[in-house]
Amino acid sequence: ELKVCVVGAGGSYTPEIVEGLITHRSQGLNVRVLGLCDTNRDRLEVMAGLARRMIDSAGADIEVQVSQELGEAARDADFVVTQIRVGGMQARRIDEVIPAKYGIIGQETTGPGGMFKALRTIPVMLDVARVVTEVAPRAFILNYTNPSGVVTEAVLTLTRARLLGLCSSIPLMQVQLRKLLQPRFGDVRIHSVGLNHLGFIFRIVAKEADVTSAAISWARRNHGGEDSLLTSALEVAETIGAIPVPKYGDLYFHRRREVKLAAEASRTRADVVMDIEAAVLKEAADPHTVGKPAALLRRGGDGYSSVTFSTMLSIVSNRGDDIVMSAMNRGAVSDLPDNVVVETNCRVDALGANPIPVGSLPLAIRGLVQAVKTHETLTVQAAVTKRRDLALQALLAHPLVSDIDVAVPLLDEMLQAHGLEYH
Ligand code: G6P
């Protein structure tokens, strides 16, 4: 009998988790208590109401505990799902708009936007991790809070919390590719390496044979083109021999095109997501709604709970499944330090996640991954010390910035816009 707690439960993804809890009850994941926590009381109540209706209408025996106090909501939990957004969508909007003024992509997880999201989120997530280790010492934290890899590195290096850094991007791509490759190669194993939102599928194995390059060519010819993000990733793959994560890979490999597209867009993603969230909340507040709000399909993270539940099941039944997530490197990738977080295939069991050894990074992506990793580690240091010099080093180290004439004014403008005081 398990307890799951969701932190940031007023967010639009909560119904996904509730749906997952209900459907997984027959699969060995016997959750009896669901703790819901959020700093925003109105949104928390709406989501708690929907959670209760979903549970009742499914006839499931799950008690819902609602509290704005993390210590209460997370007490004795086995799993704590963190999906917080410090500063809300208004802060996201700033992260998207200001870099664009300097000709740099404005994105909530990558580049200057991702860095600022990390700066304001890390201190809060460290507090969350510390409270959880106190009130629920055996809990695993399943983190979705972006930038997921950077947040994971901060918590794993600075606290004793047991945290796994989850993201649906690579797992979804594995599902897509497995299906696409099945008719030609049969069942394949798909290995990925890199960082969160800078992941690469670098090895595809069929019947013990490495078929990566044949699989890339086959996928390019046969994927049907309905997913333009995958088209773009496969195009890059022909050159570098590894498939970058869709959408986020384009921010590096089609850098100018992406900046141009963003400049032409009539609205920021923050504005669009604000509308989607309003629609999700409206549906959720309707007493007739007893399932996942339809508007959720318009969020990028739709489907993320399947990763959550595979992870929970693998831990609870000590299965040792191979799941791609962010975890401490500890030598798995030989050309990155041991004490940094990487995103790669991990064995997940009752003790947590262990990266499966990779060896060295493919040369075609090595420099980029090392550079972004350096930026991330500097970002963690800046977030905990609040030192402006470290923040400037972090921003300058990002390959999408790497120009001090831009980094200095950009840093100051963003610090000011977010009301952050660095000295
Ligand atoms: C994908 C990304 C996540 C992101 C999510 C939602 O799943 O991997 O990091 O949070 O999409 O994106 P959105 O733009 O809808 O907030």
- The ipTM assigned to this model is 0.96
- The first and second tokens of residue 238, run together, are 């022909």
**Full DSSP string of 116-176:** HHHHHHHHHHHHHHHHHHHH-TTPEEEE--SSHHHHHHHHHHHS--EEEE--SHHHHHHHH
Asked whether 169 lines ligand 1 (CB < 6 A), one says yes
Q: Which two tokens stand for residue 179?
A: 């299906």
CA 415 to chain centre: 24
Query: Using an 8 Å Cβ cutoff, are 314 and 349 in contact?
Result: yes
Supply the pLDDT for residue 304.
80
Which residues lie across from 140 on neighbouring strands? 79, 162
Q: Which of 199, 157, 212 is nearest to 341 (CA)?
A: 157
Q: In terms of DSSP bridges, do strands 63-67 and 31-37 run parallel, antiparallel, or are they unpaired?
A: parallel
**Shortest-distance Cα residue to atom 12 of ligand 1:** 300
In the sheet where 63-67 sits, what is the strand order?
Answer: 63-67, 31-37, 2-7, 79-82, 140-143, 162-165, 321-328, 341-349, 352-355
Cα–Cα dist 316/161, whole Å: 18
Between the CA of 193 and the centroid of ligand 1 the distance, in Å, is 19
Residue 261 is predicted with a pLDDT of 96
Cα–Cα distance for residue pair 372/300, rounded to 1 Å: 23
Atom of ligand 1 nearest to the CA of 92: 16
Structure tokens given for 55: 């549970």
Q: State the residue for tokens 């972006």.
A: 146
pLDDT at 302: 62
In angstroms, the CA 62 to CA 118 distance is 34
pLDDT tens digits, one per residue of 175-233: 999 999 999 999 999 999 999 999 999 999 999 999 999 999 999 999 877 777 788 99
How far does CA 192 lie from the centroid of its chain? Answer: 15
Of 13, 92, 168, the one to substitute when testing ligand 1's pocket (max ligand atoms within 8 A of C-beta) is 168
Tokens 């970058």 belong to residue: 244
CA of 257 to the centre of ligand 1 (A): 20
Predicted local confidence at residue 131, as pLDDT: 98
Q: Are 353 and 327 in contact (CB under 8 A)?
A: yes
| Strand residue runs (E) in 254-340 | 321-328
C-alpha distances out from residue 355 to 334, 337, 343, 344, 403, Å: 12, 14, 8, 6, 34
Spatial separation of the C-alpha atoms in residues 322 and 355, rounded to whole Å? 9
Distance 299 CA to ligand 1 centre (A): 7
Check if 248 is active-site: yes
Interhelix angle for 148-158 vs 111-135, to 10°? Answer: 40
Q: Which residues on neighbouring strands pair with residue 163, listed in sequence order?
A: 141
φ/ψ of 251, rounded to 5, equals -65, -25
Structure token pair of residue 289: 């709604």
| DSSP label of 350 | T
**Residue 78 neighbours by CB distance under 10 Å:** 19
Which segments of the chain have a pLDDT < 50? Answer: none
The single residue of 248, 252, 304, 422 carrying the catalytic annotation is 248
Q: Cα(52) to centroid of ligand 1, in Å?
A: 26
Q: Are 339 and 372 in contact (CB under 8 A)?
A: no
Residue 259 exposure: Cα atoms within 13 Å on the Cβ side = 15
The answer to whether the CB of 326 is under 6 A from ligand 1 is no
Q: How close are the terminal C-alpha atoms of the chain, in Å?
A: 48
Contact 5, 77 (CB under 8 A): yes
Q: Is the CB of 168 under 6 A from ligand 1?
A: yes
Ligand 1, atom 8, lies closest to the CA of 169
Residue 331: count other Cβ atoms within 10 Å of its Cβ.
12
